[in-house]
Structure 1
């Protein structure tokens, strides 16, 4: 086998052995007309949740387990990077009927 061909095979093997990192996603959740949409989201650790408040009222995204408490002023956006796996129920402290669930995979 020629040395050039041998080198090409080694390079291909090395490239194949490299792990390709997964790209984190940004998932948008809209709060509008006192409704959280979508009400259930599946995400992964490292993904970013972007809440968009389209209402003229302030809202929160408050985790029942204490993992996060994000306040959104009217017509504002807030983001949160997910740090741990699990199912998190959250709601708006100002409007408790606004409820949603994040299912976070490792």
Structure 2
């Protein structure tokens, strides 16, 4: 017979596993006419951002001191988010193109 202590530990583990198994999502950002859209997104660790570049120019999603993703003209590229924070990114080739992602 299991003691109450082990029963409660089992319930706690099952409840926490349910929270951990949340499905990661893919969030799409379109680049059109030198604009990221949407310009601000909220995400969680494990989510993927997919940038779809519909322009005839190459672009990047660059975080100073952080990551950089290159999107060739007419192509897509993606990044799996691995840390919490507010990340303001821009295109290295066109610095007026700016956007941000908040990762919780």
TM-score normalised according to structure 2 size: 0.82
RMSD: 1.6
Cα distance in 2 between the residues matched to 1:67 and 1:28: 20
Cα distance in 2 between the residues matched to 1:88 and 1:48: 14
Uncovered stretches (5+) of structure 2, i.e. residues with no partner: 1-9
Task: Tell me the alpha carbon deviations over residues 38-61 of structure 1, each in whole angstroms, 9 at most, x when there is no partner.
Answer: 000000011000001000000000
**Bigger radius of gyration:** 1
Please state whether the residue corresponding to 1:33 is helix, strand or coil. coil
Q: CA deviation at 1:67?
A: 2.0
Uncovered stretches (5+) of structure 1, i.e. residues with no partner: 1-13
TM-score normalised according to structure 1 size: 0.80
Cα distance in 2 between the residues matched to 1:92 and 1:67: 13
Task: Tell me the alpha carbon deviations over residues 13-37 of structure 1, each in whole angstroms, 9 at most, x when there is no partner.
Answer: x79x632210000000011100000
Counterpart in 2 of 1:8?
Answer: none
Count of residues paired in the alignment: 91
Alignment of 1:68-83 (within 5 A): 68-83=67-82
